């Protein structure tokens, strides 16, 4: 049983927002642990940059991402939130992804509703699948869990394609399908962040503070005041600054 998944759930019950640095290998994970972070997030953006020096446009396979989870998890005692991309196929592929990521040590897995090959959430030109198809993937992920403490996170990229209202409706469907946390990617101003938080007052909400992205750069305190529970700082330069200030 993955005690790190259990630990993540305990941390989510604490009052403060969780600040997660984006890490991409054992060394950056170890540094994050040493300076005092409680959880880390492994994203396709940083893995693609570190392994391939390429943008996050779907170059990495599921097996490469699962191996990255394993290397990072083995280096630290912290829970690892892992990017499952689109699940690398249909609902059956999602089931395998969950099993592989759990075996690698992931405490939480994020699945997004983009068309494969996906793109970084703050890039243009994205496409999303039908919401019922992603809801099916989320149900498959929940059913596939061996450890019931593994957190399944639903991400939608529909804001940039169909607008905020569509993204919110998708979020409702994905939560109804069994997701326990919601990540609406790339809201474009503070009003939109506030709208998301008011719509989902009792949900574990995730914000992504990507430098130069579409979402305004708020502090962890500001996001907590709005109602968010987790914030990612995925860029290496951002993480370095947070580590220095920690």
Q: What is the pLDDT of residues 40-93, one digit of tens each?
A: 999 888 898 888 888 777 788 999 999 999 999 999 999 999 999 999 999 999
Sequence-separated (6 or more) residues with CB below 8 Å from residue 35: 243, 246
The larger pLDDT score, comparing residue 112 to residue 236, is at: 112
Does residue 184 contact residue 128 with C-beta atoms inside 8 Å? no
pLDDT at position 242? 47
Q: What value does the mean pLDDT take over residues 84-108?
A: 97
List, for residues 25-54, the tens digit of each pLDDT value: 999 999 999 999 999 999 888 898 888 888
Question: Tokens 């953006």 appear where?
Answer: 45
Closest CA to 18 of 80, 71, 77: 80
CA 154/CA 207 separation, integer angstroms:
13
Read off the pLDDT band of 238 (50, 70, 90): very low
Read off the pLDDT band of 243 (50, 70, 90): very low
pLDDT at position 14? 97
pLDDT at position 126? 82
CA 162/CA 126 separation, integer angstroms:
11
pLDDT at position 39? 98
CA 35/CA 173 separation, integer angstroms:
38
Does residue 113 contact residue 128 with C-beta atoms inside 8 Å? yes
CA 21/CA 180 separation, integer angstroms:
21
Question: Crossing angle, helix 26-34 and helix 62-75, to 10 degrees?
Answer: 40
- Domain 3-10+18-245, CATH number (from 2.40.110.10, 3.30.450.40, 3.40.190.10, 3.20.20.60): 3.20.20.60
| Residue 143 backbone dihedrals phi, psi, to 5 degrees | -70, -30
SS3 assignment, position 85:
coil
Q: What value does the mean pLDDT take over residues 217-244?
A: 79
């Amino acid at each position: 049983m993955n005690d790190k998944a259990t630990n993540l759930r305990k941390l989510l019950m604490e009052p403060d927002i969780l600040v997660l640095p984006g890490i991409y290998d054992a060394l950056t994970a170890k540094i994050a642990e040493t300076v005092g972070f409680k959880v880390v997030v492994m994203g396709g953006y940083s893995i693609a940059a570190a392994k391939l020096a390429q943008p996050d446009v779907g170059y990495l396979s599921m097996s490469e991402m699962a191996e990255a989870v394993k290397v990072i998890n083995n280096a630290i005692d912290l829970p690892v939130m892992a990017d499952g991309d689109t699940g690398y196929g249909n609902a059956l592929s999602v089931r395998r992804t969950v099993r592989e990521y759990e075996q690698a040590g992931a405490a939480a897995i994020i699945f997004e509703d983009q068309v494969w090959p996906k793109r970084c959430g703050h890039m243009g030109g994205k496409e999303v699948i039908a919401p019922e198809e992603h809801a099916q993937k989320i149900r498959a992920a929940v059913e596939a869990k061996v450890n019931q403490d593994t957190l399944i996170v639903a991400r939608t990229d529909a804001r940039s394609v169909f607008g905020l209202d569509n993204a919110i409706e998708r979020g409702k469907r994905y939560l109804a399908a069994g997701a326990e946390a919601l990540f609406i990617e790339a809201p474009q101003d503070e009003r939109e962040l506030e709208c998301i938080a008011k719509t989902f007052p009792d949900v574990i909400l995730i914000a992504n503070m990507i430098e130069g992205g579409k979402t305004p750069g708020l502090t962890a305190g500001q996001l907590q005041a709005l109602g968010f529970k987790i914030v990612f700082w995925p860029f290496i330069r951002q993480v370095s600054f947070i580590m220095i200030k920690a």
